[in-house]
A and B are shown apart, each in its own frame.
Chain A
């Protein structure tokens, strides 16, 4: 079994040889097309000896897609490789490892190229167009579609404060101080003027969503802190866009007037609100389209992706904030689309998004490493050191100052620990680099780029690596790992209504009051338009319950066991004895019934074949897999495989539309039992046993 190191080496050789081949072919090609006469000559010369080419080599034909695929393959194999070295992947976050790989690959390519023509380096660089149009959208879409809405809206005020005021503060502070630094005689930076410094400040001040995601996802921090830092990184895009364009315009013009500043403020509102509006429009149209996809389920996921991507591109056309547009589209679309599409499409969407965003993220970090090696660098000690220090200082000052103001308005205040994590989690990343790349070519550009890369490296390596032990050290609350139970869902809804009621009693039009109004508006008008069929009137509690049932049916079936999972408590335990006979199974709509039935049938047929074999969940736990209790299931199954005791329960038929109806039509009365292992979904097992018996009979 080749070790990862050997594998890496093989890949590098492969990449460089492909590269070498490409340039090799170019050269020979070049030689060949010298003159038509010579060609004819050689051809005539070879005419009699030239046989039909059985095998020929034509690389130029597939060059571009070949290289792209090779890069992506390299990125993914690296990702695989890291997880085979457990010690390293615990200490070092993946993003750092990927940057290192990028550096290595870049170094190899550069070394190979240095003997070839060095007029234009053919090392691929993180092209701005590539980044903004192809690599960034999947990540943002994934983030926006699965954004935890409840936490986001509860903390929206705080997030906006950090995103807008915090970024402005960072930009001006860094820009101003750097200008001061540039005035120092010893630094030889006298030609850097104020506007350039401010431009530089605006590029470097924005917290980067890609880097934040990459690091925070591994440390499993609690939802509040996650949404604060991540939300800030998403919403500061509008500020960054406006500041960047503003200062770039000004640095050409040379002077700033008051009207320009005023127009800048207006521009900010236009950029952010316009972006959100475009996103909402595309989102609503997408939701409306999904209403009619009943008969063409296979293309449902594509609608989600395409509408979102169009939203992003449309916003970019008008120089509006593409990120905010994408987020608004995903958020607007999601509740309606999920009610309309089939379960398979939902799974497809989820996994495709995760896949694309994972590939994008990997590629971004690798390219960052490669570009570092490629680009021309101008290293100025003073500039770089001061940039790094000022970034840290301004971030800390900004967070502390803003929290002081914000805590006056928050119900649940932010503690010092929270502030520290928010300040420390302000990572810079590839967006800053790409924006720097977009700058017009002045001699300052390379110096700026070097400084930006240094800051990115510093934040990703130093802060990224140390944040995990710091989180442990400070005992910051981690994310709750358990899934939401039905009790919590009931009480969440109950609490919502209770708080709205109390606010009404107080006569106070607060947060809950408006949320309640919005919900009611949503229910009466919007849902009727955008959701097809009877699901438009389904209350949230019931859809949650149905989803849970579906999930459990699948879990039970996928664990591959025919034996009913015995449980601790059954229905008999909680019901008074005389009413045991009256248990009913709810009637689900016919469409869902069909879906569940089909799914069970197909899965159970497979089960029949692999009765005694291991389930396929022997692989390592995929972090995107929700159901951690599958592992529990597997263990349980193995242990209690010996004992299958059957007890009796009573099922009465109330209407023939229910599943029970199916079962009872077979004249079957199922045996079922409570056993010794702990399992708290006995009732579901009951029903599933019914299906199983029905399908097998």
Chain B
């Protein structure tokens, strides 16, 4: 029991190791958690996520749950062959979504690091871009800021709007440079988003420690 799952138990796990980069132990632990969440069914649905108590006080809960059901996140490089959201996910999809939070390994070339950065930023981008059109419009960005501030007491809608506007202006001026007064900035494309958060060092920040999970599984 525990960490010593061999490949013989679940032959598809070795395939998953290659696809997602998790080790066999980590896949085993995540499989246990998947079973726990889905009450031993084969697929997870949104209601299962709603049952997690700690998630209830998270301001961006809805977006996190949606991210699990977004088909764009089911492929390694965020390409969309099938657009839209699904109603239930298998263990494989769960694992692929989780793999976005794997830390980069120690020995990586600059290219690999860039690739990892792109993947993680793509995940964030997909979370913001709720209507799947490839750009984050002002409305969507406003929604993001409103959600962030939603649990902080008084919902000051106007301040949220202004913060989002200021942020959008910044992106526009960084990406587009000079704009005529009657030009219109459609929205943040992925390339602009990537440029914006270039210095953010996301490959070092967006990581979960999958190491000792076997000992700390809660209810």
Contacting pair B165 A488 (CB below 8 A): no
Contacting pair A501 B217 (CB below 8 A): no
* B60-86 interface (Cβ within 8 A of A): 60-61, 64, 68
The answer to whether the Cβ of A487 comes within 8 Å of any Cβ in the partner chain is yes
Contacting pair B199 A490 (CB below 8 A): no
Contacting pair B169 A569 (CB below 8 A): yes
Residue numbers in B under 8 Å from A679 (CB-CB): 173
Q: Which residue of B lies closest to A682 (CB)?
A: B169
Please judge, given known A-B contacts A485-B170, A585-B162, whether A568 and B209 are in contact too, CB under 8 Å. Answer: no
Q: How near does chain A come to B121, taking the closest CB pair, in angstroms?
A: 10
Q: How near does chain A come to B28, taking the closest CB pair, in angstroms?
A: 13
Contacting pair B181 A505 (CB below 8 A): no
Contacting pair A676 B33 (CB below 8 A): no
Contact of A487 among B138, B170, B205, B206 (CB under 8 A): B170
Residue numbers in B under 8 Å from A570 (CB-CB): 169, 181
- Cα A562 to Cα B138 with chains together (Å): 31
- Cα A409 to Cα B181 with chains together (Å): 53
Q: Which residue of B lies closest to A501 (CB)?
A: B64
Contact of B158 among A502, A537, A587 (CB under 8 A): A587
Residue numbers in B under 8 Å from A137 (CB-CB): none
- A-B contacts, 11 listed (Cβ < 8 Å): A499-B206, A504-B58, A506-B98, A541-B145, A568-B179, A569-B172, A571-B165, A574-B172, A574-B185, A576-B184, A586-B156
Count residues of chain A with CB under 8 A from any CB of chain B. 67
Q: Which residue of B lies closest to A582 (CB)?
A: B161
The answer to whether the Cβ of A678 comes within 8 Å of any Cβ in the partner chain is yes
Contacting pair A567 B60 (CB below 8 A): no
Contacting pair B218 A545 (CB below 8 A): no
By a beta-carbon cutoff of 8 Å, the part of chain B in contact with chain A is: 30, 33, 36-37, 49, 52, 54-55, 57-61, 64, 68, 98, 101, 103-104, 106, 124, 127, 138, 144-145, 148-149, 152-154, 156, 158-159, 161-163, 165-174, 176-185, 196-197, 199-200, 202, 204-211, 213, 216-219
- Going nearest first, the 8 A-B pairs with the smallest beta carbon separation are A539-B152, A680-B173, A504-B54, A501-B64, A586-B159, A413-B106, A411-B103, A569-B172
Residue numbers in A under 8 Å from B145 (CB-CB): 490, 541
* A465-524 interface (Cβ within 8 A of B): 480, 482, 485-488, 490-491, 493-495, 497-513, 520, 523
- Cα A493 to Cα B127 with chains together (Å): 14
Contacting pair A568 B148 (CB below 8 A): no
Q: Mark A560-596, 1 if CB is under 8 A from B, else 0.
A: 0000000111111111110000001111000000000
- Cα A523 to Cα B153 with chains together (Å): 10
Residue numbers in B under 8 Å from A507 (CB-CB): 33, 36, 213, 216-219
Q: Which residue of A lies closest to B121 (CB)?
A: A491
The answer to whether the Cβ of A412 comes within 8 Å of any Cβ in the partner chain is yes
Residue numbers in B under 8 Å from A490 (CB-CB): 144-145, 148, 163, 167
- Cα A577 to Cα B199 with chains together (Å): 33
Please judge, given known A-B contacts A501-B55, A501-B60, whether A508 and B148 are in contact too, CB under 8 Å. Answer: no
Q: How near does chain B come to A593, taking the closest CB pair, in angstroms?
A: 14
Contacting pair B173 A678 (CB below 8 A): yes
The answer to whether the Cβ of A462 comes within 8 Å of any Cβ in the partner chain is no
Residue numbers in B under 8 Å from A506 (CB-CB): 30, 33, 98, 208, 210, 213
Q: Which residue of A lies closest to B161 (CB)?
A: A584
- Cα A542 to Cα B149 with chains together (Å): 9
- Cα A195 to Cα B136 with chains together (Å): 68
Q: How near does chain A come to B201, taking the closest CB pair, in angstroms?
A: 9
Q: Which residue of A lies closest to B183 (CB)?
A: A573
Please judge, given known A-B contacts A412-B103, A488-B200, A491-B124, whether A508 and B55 are in contact too, CB under 8 Å. Answer: no
Q: Mark A406-417, 1 if CB is under 8 A from B, else 0.
A: 010101110100
Please judge, given known A-B contacts A498-B60, A511-B209, A586-B162, whether A683 and B204 are in contact too, CB under 8 Å. Answer: no
Residue numbers in B under 8 Å from A537 (CB-CB): 152-154
Contacting pair B169 A491 (CB below 8 A): no
Please judge, given known A-B contacts A490-B144, A495-B206, A497-B148, whether A680 and B169 are in contact too, CB under 8 Å. Answer: yes
Contacting pair A486 B55 (CB below 8 A): no
**Known pairs A486-B167, A508-B216, A586-B158 / 10 extra A-B pairs, C-beta < 8 Å:** A490-B144, A497-B148, A501-B60, A510-B209, A510-B216, A541-B163, A545-B163, A568-B178, A678-B173, A678-B178
Residue numbers in A under 8 Å from B207 (CB-CB): 411-412, 499
| Most central of A480, A511, A537, A541 by chain B CB within 10 Å | A541
Residue numbers in A under 8 Å from B182 (CB-CB): 572
Please judge, given known A-B contacts A411-B103, A491-B197, whether A505 and B55 are in contact too, CB under 8 Å. Answer: yes
Q: How near does chain B come to A182, taking the closest CB pair, in angstroms?
A: 42
Contacting pair B179 A486 (CB below 8 A): no
Please judge, given known A-B contacts A486-B166, A542-B159, A586-B158, whether A508 and B208 are in contact too, CB under 8 Å. Answer: yes
Residue numbers in A under 8 Å from B176 (CB-CB): 568-569
Residue numbers in A under 8 Å from B153 (CB-CB): 537, 539
Q: How near does chain A come to B112, taking the closest CB pair, in angstroms?
A: 15
Q: Which residue of A lies closest to B128 (CB)?
A: A494
Q: Which residue of B lies closest to A481 (CB)?
A: B199
- Cα A577 to Cα B145 with chains together (Å): 22
Q: Which residue of B lies closest to A477 (CB)?
A: B201
Residue numbers in A under 8 Å from B156 (CB-CB): 542, 586
Q: How near does chain B come to A414, taking the closest CB pair, in angstroms?
A: 9
Q: How near does chain B come to A481, taking the closest CB pair, in angstroms?
A: 10
Contacting pair B165 A683 (CB below 8 A): yes
- Cα A60 to Cα B35 with chains together (Å): 85
Residue numbers in B under 8 Å from A574 (CB-CB): 138, 165, 168-169, 172, 184-185
Q: How near does chain B come to A239, taking the closest CB pair, in angstroms?
A: 28
- Cα A415 to Cα B104 with chains together (Å): 13
| Most central of A504, A575, A681 by chain B CB within 10 Å | A504
Residue numbers in A under 8 Å from B104 (CB-CB): 412
Please judge, given known A-B contacts A487-B197, A537-B154, A569-B169, whether A499 and B208 are in contact too, CB under 8 Å. Answer: yes
The answer to whether the Cβ of A674 comes within 8 Å of any Cβ in the partner chain is yes
Contacting pair B209 A683 (CB below 8 A): no
Q: Which residue of A lies closest to B48 (CB)?
A: A505
Please judge, given known A-B contacts A491-B197, A499-B206, A504-B58, whether A541 and B148 are in contact too, CB under 8 Å. Answer: yes
The answer to whether the Cβ of A69 comes within 8 Å of any Cβ in the partner chain is no
Contact of A676 among B49, B178, B211 (CB under 8 A): B178
The answer to whether the Cβ of A442 comes within 8 Å of any Cβ in the partner chain is no
* A515-561 interface (Cβ within 8 A of B): 520, 523, 537, 539, 541-542, 545, 548
Please judge, given known A-B contacts A412-B103, A541-B148, whether A683 and B169 are in contact too, CB under 8 Å. Answer: yes
Residue numbers in A under 8 Å from B161 (CB-CB): 584
- Cα A220 to Cα B115 with chains together (Å): 28
The answer to whether the Cβ of A647 comes within 8 Å of any Cβ in the partner chain is yes
